[in-house]
Structure 1
């Protein structure tokens, strides 16, 4: 990754995050602001940059992987919401949410890989 690539990632990703934050702060409806706060800026920029440098097939792999991260984001939001309601500790809820996001995303990837291995194994056994 060269300096130009890093600059564009920073420019596009940072701009998307700032735009999401400003929109969330300016809108009077906090629910809509929360939706904009969850804008997938990092994923969009990652797919765009990989597509520009390595092509559509590699960009599709990034997009596919982001599905697991976004499901993890959903789990993170639920974890933070329920943790805040139970503990009223925003810092601990934040940390617990990040851990749940990472763990659930990795678990989903693990389950996908396991399913693919079983499918490949059953195909091999059919041909024997």
Structure 2
């Protein structure tokens, strides 16, 4: 069966939820651009690294953290493309279709970037 630890899940919830809440508050108070900076806070990445530190130690933790970090770079590149595409598509197609188009682009780009980066 699945062996899911509660603490790493709670860390992801805490970091992710806090980042979303702070992003929304900052966007409302200071504008969407500054809120967007907080929306890009790497909450899931930090929580994942902290979660790994519970399960791994020493050189094994370093190795798995390096692998996670390389994968995170792939995701971040796809995120940048998604954000650029969202600003383009939302202006031209409305926010619902624009978000769908940009997320579909992310879903295609993330595996493509991963394949190119790690397979060649």
1:51·1:58 contact (CA, 8 Å) conserved in 2? no
Alpha-carbon RMSD across the aligned residues, in angstroms, is: 1.8
Deviation string for 1:65-100 (max 9, x for gaps)? 01011110111011111112222x211111111111
**Where does structure 1 lack aligned partners over 5 or more consecutive residues?**
116-128
**Where does structure 2 lack aligned partners over 5 or more consecutive residues?**
none
Runs of 4+ off more than 4 Å: none
TM-score, normalised via structure 2 length: 0.80
Q: Does 1:82 align with 2:84?
A: no
- Structure 2: how far apart are the matches of 1:61 and 1:91? 34
- Structure 1: how far apart are the matches of 2:27 and 2:66? 29
Query: RCO (CA 8 Å, sep 6+): is it higher in 1 or 2?
Result: 2
TM-score, normalised via structure 1 length: 0.76
1:24·1:37 contact (CA, 8 Å) conserved in 2? no
Q: Does 1:71 align with 2:77?
A: yes
Work out the number of aligned pairs and report it. 113
Larger radius of gyration: 1
